[in-house]
């Protein structure tokens, strides 16, 4: 549109008339026509359109979202196993072997992984305790390392992540070859 253009309503609908007198816009009949069909991924009146045959669209799940591979191997078990995973690491702070519960039940991959990590941490804590007694207290600083590993494991469990090497997850997985039932 040029500088001298105005919107005008009239018999022909809303039009734009510029300074040269040229008109542009939609008349009433064009204005009330049905819109062009939407793209195949968009919705029309709340109902999803069917993809064309031989489409390269991804398959969808029950809610219409595209199916994808899980981000990690525990993605589907995180919510149901988070509490036991946290308790497994929390038991280390108090010297309680609470990790035994997920190791016995073996019904959740996420809590089992964190239980293995906490069990490895518990073994390390017992080793540090033995070194402290044998060396008459010289190994006392080693007793704080299991607390660090337990806190890292708790943070990772609360975040829905694997225990990782600082939560002793890799050591626990290599020591304990237990799988989910």
SS3 66: strand
DSSP 136: T
- Amino acid 1: pLDDT: 46
Tell whether pTM > 0.75: no
- Tokens 């995180």 found at: 78
Helices and strands (DSSP H and E) totals, the chain: 6, 5
Q: CA 120 to CA 114: how far, in whole Å?
A: 10
Q: Percent of the chain, pLDDT > 70?
A: 58
Which of 21-30, 119-128, 165-174 has maximum average pLDDT?
A: 119-128
Supply the Cα-derived Rg of the chain in whole angstroms: 32
Q: CA 13 to CA 9: how far, in whole Å?
A: 6
**Res. 19: pLDDT tops 90:** no
Contact 143, 129 (CB under 8 A): yes
Kindly list the domain boundaries of the chain, sorted by start residue. Answer: 6-41, 78-175
Q: Where are the beta strands (DSSP E) in 11-160?
A: 13-17, 23-25, 43-44, 47-48
Higher pLDDT, 149 or 41: 149
- Determine the length of the chain: 181
Q: What is the average pLDDT score of the chain?
A: 77
């Amino acid at each position: 549109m040029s500088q001298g253009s105005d919107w005008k309503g009239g018999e022909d609908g809303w039009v734009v008339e510029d300074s040269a007198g040229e008109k542009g816009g939609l008349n009433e009949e064009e204005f009330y026509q049905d819109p062009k069909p939407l793209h195949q991924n968009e919705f029309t009146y709340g109902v999803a359109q069917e993809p064309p045959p031989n489409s390269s669209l991804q398959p969808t799940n029950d809610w219409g979202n595209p199916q994808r591979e899980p981000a990690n191997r525990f993605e589907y078990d995180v919510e149901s196993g988070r509490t036991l995973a946290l308790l497994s690491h929390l038991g280390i702070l108090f010297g309680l072997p609470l990790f035994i519960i997920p190791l016995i039940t073996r019904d959740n991959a996420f809590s089992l992984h964190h239980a293995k990590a906490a069990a490895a941490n518990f073994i390390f804590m017992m080793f540090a305790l033995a070194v402290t007694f044998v060396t008459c207290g010289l190994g006392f600083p080693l007793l704080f390392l299991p607390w660090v590993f337990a806190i890292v494991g708790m943070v990772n469990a609360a975040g829905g992540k694997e225990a990782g090497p600082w939560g002793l997850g890799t050591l626990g997985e290599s020591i304990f070859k237990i799988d989910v039932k």
